[in-house]
Amino acid sequence: MGEASTAHAVLRLVERARYEVLPAPGTEAMVVEHLPLDRVVTVTASPRQGLEATLELAERLALQGRPVVPHLAARMVSGRAELAEIVHRLTSAGVRGVFVPAGDAEPVGDYRDALALLDDLAWLSAPFAHVGVTGYPESHPAIHDDVTVQSMWDKRRHATHVVSNLTFDPAAVSSWIGRLRARGVRTPVLLGVPGPVERAELLAVATRIGVGESTRFLAKNKGLFARLAAPGGFTGERFVLDCAPALRAPEAGVEGLHVFTFNQIAATERWRRDLLARLPDRRHAT
C-alpha cells in the first residue's frame, strides 16, 4: 500500500511538471520542437543576459498559445513605472503568471527584495493569476534559515505558490516543508528538481547559483556522484522517489515539479515521458 501510494504521488508530481529554461539562442526552437503546447515553461532572468531577453522569449512563447512564466527578478527592475510597462507587455501577450525572485544582481532601482515588487504588483491590481516566489530547502549562503521562512510568511498574501530552489537532499526537502507548515505558511509548493544533465554542467550550475551545501552533499554520497558520472547523466528520478513519501500527504501541499532543464529540453521531456510510462496505470492514481 505504501509503495503504491508513493508511486501515485510521484505520478501526480511528474504529470504536473513544468520546465525552467534559459533565454539563450535556440531555446525557442527547442521548446517548439520538443514540448507539447500545454507544457508550462518558465524563463529565467540573469544579470548577464538582462531582463529584456527574458521578456522577449516569454512574449514569443505566449503568443504561440503556450503557458509561460517569466522570471521578474526584482533587483533588475528600476521601479513602479518600469514594472507597469512590463506588466502591460506581458498581459498583452497573454502571460498569466510570473515568478518573482529577488535576483542576484545589484539593485538597479527601488526594489531591493522580491516583497517590494510583489507589493507594487498588488498596487497594479494584481494583474497575474499565478505568482510564484522562491523557497530555500537548504541554507542560503547569505540569508539565515529563519529569515527565509519568515519571507515565505511575508509573501503569502501575494503568492499562489512557492518554488523550491535546487537541492539534492531529500531530507532537507522534508524538513523545510515541515518548517513552512509549522510556521503557518499554507502556500502550495512546486518541488525544484534537476533534469537530465551531465555531471560537470550540473555541478558548475549548482556552484554558480549558490547551493554549496548541495555540492558537499554530493561529495559525501559517492553512489549519487557515481550516477552523475554514468552515461546519460543525472535525471533526478531517484531524488523524486526518495522525496515522495514525505510529499504524498495532502498537508504537505506539494502540487508538482519545477524541473531545472539547464536547456537540456529534449532530454528532459524524454525523461518525463519515460518515467510516466514506467509508473503504475495513471487511471488508478489518487
Reported confidence tier of residue 283, pLDDT bands at 50, 70, 90: very low
Dihedral over Cα of 55, 57, 63, 66: its sign: negative
Largest CA distance in the chain: 55
Please write the tens of the pLDDT for every residue from 47-82. 888 999 999 999 999 999 999 999 999 999 999 999
Query: How large a percentage of the chain has pLDDT more than 90?
Result: 50
Please write the tens of the pLDDT for every residue from 165-185. 877 788 889 998 998 888 888
Please write the tens of the pLDDT for every residue from 116-166. 999 999 999 999 999 999 988 875 555 555 666 667 778 889 999 999 987
Backbone angles phi, psi at 24, to 5 degrees: -105, 165
N-terminal to C-terminal alpha carbon distance within the chain: 12
Degrees to nearest 5, angle at CA 140 with 135 and 146: 70
Three cell numbers at 173?
Answer: 526537502
Q: Is the pLDDT of residue 37 over 60?
A: yes
Question: Domain 2-197+234-279 classified CATH 3.40.50.2300?
Answer: no
Residue type, 126: A
Q: Is the pLDDT of residue 4 over 50?
A: yes
Q: Is the pTM of this model over 0.75?
A: yes
Residue with cell 552533499: 217
Please write the tens of the pLDDT for every residue from 231-257. 655 557 788 888 888 888 889 999 999
